[in-house]
């Protein structure tokens, strides 16, 4: 009997060793970069909210928004009761994963661990806070096998749930994926992400290859060679017929409203265009994101701009991405544009340190701004006329070198100039043209321009105030909030300063990395829901704001205002 126990124990040890060895061997081959199929997705058996994507032969880990699990069959984050990470061969083949049904991607830690979410460089503009949060938003089971035993038609009480739990559960009961439009199969959506259904814009003139080096020894390929400023053109002030900036003069006197009139000129200040009353002005809200467009951030945009979110005129809410070259996955840019979002230039390199931009040459700014535009045209398939705006990295102005380059390059507007009252009670500033040299009241962080740039618009970056009363240039730069409810109140308090005064356009200019602190995403998502309950608030792009500035239209006629039509927007 004693001998049999010894034999049994030995066999168990051998069996356990074999299983461990097989698992390690399997994982070893799975983690091998040579077996990493590019663009394929893999689920995580331990954490249903995590998934992995193979990009350029390397595994990158991502985390679903709160309350969602990764679905193998749909290749997206989906309702927990619909998600499945069973590890079966069929599911993994649908995902494009390993043929072995029991292999999983690395969980946590490592170069691409869950804390990094596949992000690249960080900007000093950011708040830098990385607190974790969970404000009643999990709503998830601890297992990936959560599709059984949960009825989609189960009764849901709002009193039992809070925050995102309620809208996730309510919408989940309808059976519709959390963001994908109806009538689109998982395969069709995945194809649209990899190969957007569009005819790429072909530039009228062939472009020669070239490179623009980024900081830290990295380089970002550009589709265009460095070029000199265009020759002087005769004509009026529109971007396509401007004079060369070398012919521009300084105009340091106060802007004269009698001679500076819409649609081509507007003086800086707090006055509402055309003398409209505040109550007759639509409150415009701009939601913009700086830096790269990558798989690490794409899910955030899908959540915020999901189908079903409409302005009072019935058209989808829209945002803007100021895209930099380093880290951008160009195949993800066009789908955002096709949803109706604006895409603009944020330079190729996003060079460090920030002081470099204050002394950069005219040619530096010209190459950086137009080079990024050319990349968006040739590599993302955007039409040139759609890329109208620019924002400089770190909001670090470069005086006339910067503005002359943008003017000569034909950009319609810049949105880098920091301004705003130092008191929370002060009225905000309306967008203005650079026909006159702005004073330090409107350009508070130089070096500021000294020349006049007729017809070129400036959408100012206005001061925000944190919950502690301290100010910042961008929302993600103020003191951190403690939970989603506090983030929501932080956004509301700054919004009220605009809505209850002169209703100048309210800008939420942030970096997607702000959402690495999960409750910031939850708070902004709930803030958008709050805005959509107000019938005179419109979430529009910066270019749509400027179209309104050129033709101020009261609320009584805004539903038929052409530039805010539904053309190009996402639909259910």
Query: Among 375-389, 467-481, 539-553, 557-571, whose mean pLDDT is lowest?
Result: 557-571
Residue 426 CB neighbour total at 10 angstroms: 13
Q: Tell me which of 66 and 492 has the higher pLDDT.
A: 492
More confident residue, 347 or 249: 347
pLDDT at 291: 96
Averaged over 290-299, what is the pLDDT? 94
State both tokens at 168.
């996730």
**Residue 201 and residue 373: Cα distance in Å, rounded?**
13
Average of pLDDT values for 259-287?
97
For residue 486, the surrounding DSSP H or E stretch is: helix 484-499
Whether the predicted pLDDT of 483 surpasses 80: yes
Residues with Cβ within 8 Å of 347's Cβ and at least 6 positions away in sequence, in order, are 324, 325, 368, 369, 371, 372, 392, 393
**Whether pLDDT at 225 is above 80:** no
Q: Using a CB cutoff of 8 Å and minimum separation of 24, what contacts does 201-204 make?
A: 201/377, 201/381, 201/382, 201/383, 201/384, 203/374, 203/377, 203/378, 203/384
As a whole number of angstroms, the distance between CA 339 and CA 432 comes to 28
What's the pLDDT score for residue 3? Answer: 53
**pLDDT above 60: residue 303:** yes
**Token pair of 485 as six digits:** 């409810």
Taking the domains of the chain in order of start, what are their residue ranges?
A: 41-78, 278-564
Taking 60 as the threshold, does the pLDDT of residue 532 lie above it?
yes
Interacting residues of 70 by C-beta distance below 8 A, sequence separation 6+: 41, 43, 44, 48, 49, 50, 51, 64, 76, 77, 78, 83, 85, 144
pLDDT digits (tens, 9 = 90+) for 426-438: 999 999 999 999 9
Mean pLDDT of the chain: 74
Architecture of the domain delimited by 278-564? Alpha-Beta Barrel (3.20)
Return the pLDDT at 109: 38
Query: Which one is predicted more confidently, 509 or 50?
Result: 509
**In sequence order, which residues have a C-beta less than 8 Å from that of residue 274 and are 6 or more positions away?**
262, 552
CB 519 within 8 A of CB 484: yes
């Amino acid at each position: 009997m004693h001998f049999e126990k010894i034999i049994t124990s030995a066999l168990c040890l051998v069996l356990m060793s074999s299983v461990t060895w097989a698992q390690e061997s399997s994982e070893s081959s799975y983690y091998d970069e040579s077996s990493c199929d590019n663009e394929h997705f893999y689920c995580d058996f331990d954490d249903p909210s995590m998934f992995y994507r193979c990009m350029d032969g390397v595994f990158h880990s991502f985390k679903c928004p709160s309350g969602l699990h990764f679905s193998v069959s749909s290749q997206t984050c989906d309702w927990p009761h619909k998600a499945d990470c069973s590890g079966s061969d069929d599911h993994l083949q649908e995902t494009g994963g390993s043929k072995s049904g029991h292999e999983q991607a690395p969980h946590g830690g490592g170069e691409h661990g869950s804390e990094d979410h596949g992000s690249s460089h960080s900007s000093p503009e950011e708040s830098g806070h990385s607190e974790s949060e969970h404000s009643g938003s999990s709503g998830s089971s601890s297992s990936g096998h959560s599709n059984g035993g949960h009825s989609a038609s189960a009764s849901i009480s709002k009193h039992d749930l809070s925050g995102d739990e309620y809208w996730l559960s309510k919408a989940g009961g309808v059976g519709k994926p959390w963001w994908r439009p109806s009538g689109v199969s998982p395969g069709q959506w995945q194809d649209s992400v990899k190969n957007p259904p569009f005819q790429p814009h072909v530039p009228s003139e062939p472009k020669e290859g070239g490179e623009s080096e980024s900081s830290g020894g990295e380089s970002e390929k550009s589709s265009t060679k460095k070029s000199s400023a265009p020759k002087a053109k005769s004509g009026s002030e529109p971007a396509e017929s401007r004079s060369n900036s070398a012919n521009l003069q300084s105009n340091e006197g106060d802007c004269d409203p009698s001679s500076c009139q819409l649609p081509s000129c507007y003086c800086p200040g707090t006055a509402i265009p055309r003398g409209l009353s505040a109550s007759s002005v639509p409150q415009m809200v701009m939601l913009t994101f700086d830096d790269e467009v990558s798989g690490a951030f794409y899910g955030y945009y899908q959540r915020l701009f999901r189908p079903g979110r409409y302005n009072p005129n019935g058209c989808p809410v829209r945002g803007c991405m100021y895209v930099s070259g380093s880290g951008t996955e160009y195949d993800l840019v066009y789908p955002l544009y096709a949803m109706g979002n604006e895409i603009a230039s944020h330079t190729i390199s996003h060079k460090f340190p920030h002081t470099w931009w204050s002394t950069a040459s005219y040619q530096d700014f010209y190459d950086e701004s137009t080079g990024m535009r050319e990349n968006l045209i040739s590599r993302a398939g955007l039409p040139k006329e759609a890329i109208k705006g620019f924002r400089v990295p770190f909001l670090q102005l470069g005086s006339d070198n910067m503005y002359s380059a943008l003017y000569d390059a034909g950009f319609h507007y810049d949105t880098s100039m920091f301004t705003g009252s130092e008191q929370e009670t002060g009225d905000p500033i309306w967008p203005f043209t650079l026909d006159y040299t702005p004073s330090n009241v409107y350009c508070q962080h130089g070096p500021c321009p000294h020349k006049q740039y007729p017809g070129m618009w400036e959408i100012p970056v206005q001061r925000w105030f944190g919950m502690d009363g301290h100010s910042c240039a961008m929302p993600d730069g103020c003191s951190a909030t403690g939970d989603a409810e506090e983030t929501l109140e932080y956004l509301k308090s700054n919004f009220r300063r605009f809505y209850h005064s002169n209703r100048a356009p309210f800008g939420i200019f942030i970096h997607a990395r702000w959402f690495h602190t999960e409750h910031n995403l939850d708070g902004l998502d709930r803030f958008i829901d709050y805005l959509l309950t107000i019938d005179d608030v419109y979430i529009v792009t910066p270019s749509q704001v400027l179209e309104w500035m050129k033709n101020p239209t009261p609320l009584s006629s805004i539903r038929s205002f052409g530039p805010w039509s539904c053309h190009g927007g996402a639909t259910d």
